Amino acid sequence: DAKTTQPPSMDCAEGRAANLPCNHSTISGNEYVYWYRQIHSQGPQYIIHGLKNNETNEMASLIITEDRKSSTLILPHATLRDTAVYYCIVRPNFGNEKLTFGTGTRLTIIP
């Protein structure tokens, strides 16, 4: 699987948009970009995934650059409950492929 690079930590003010970057410069054509988050002492939670088009769901938006070498997860109106470690993962589009977690970004929402 391609490796990803994320900043170790970020702060964001409550109510503002949180923009979390991820670099995946060695991504292959058949690899999707997935985002998960892990709130302290819980299992990871799926957020969103995409291949090359921008995606939006009720939780977040995913912006993927045209060359697919980087992406940004956007939480449009961050709340205190969004404080978590966010993981960006690239994975082939085979359903039963494993997920390999990097170190992620620890996002802290500031009141």
Partner 1 sequence: GAVVSQHPSWVICKSGTSVKIECRSLDFQATTMFWYRQFPKQSLMLMATSNEGSKATYEQGVEKDKFLINHASLTLSTLTVTSAHPEDSSFYICSASLGQVAGSYFGPGTRLTVT
Distance CA 73, CA 60 (A): 7
**Based on CB atoms, which residue is closest to partner 1, 11 or 97?**
97
Q: How far is CA 36 from CA 75, 90, 102, in A?
A: 13, 11, 11
How many residues at the interface with partner 1, by CB under 8 A?
A: 24
Distance CA 20, CA 40 (A): 18
Distance CA 79, CA 13 (A): 8
Distance CA 38, CA 47 (A): 10
Indicate which single residue of 87, 90, 105, 109 sits in contact with partner 1 (rule: CB under 8 A).
87
Q: Does 99 bind partner 1 (CB under 8 A)?
A: yes
Stretch that binds partner 1, among 15-23, 35-43, 63-71, 76-84 (CB under 8 A): 35-43
Q: Does 53 bind partner 1 (CB under 8 A)?
A: no
Q: Does 54 bind partner 1 (CB under 8 A)?
A: no
Q: Does 74 bind partner 1 (CB under 8 A)?
A: no
**Based on CB atoms, which residue is closest to partner 1, 56 or 103?**
103
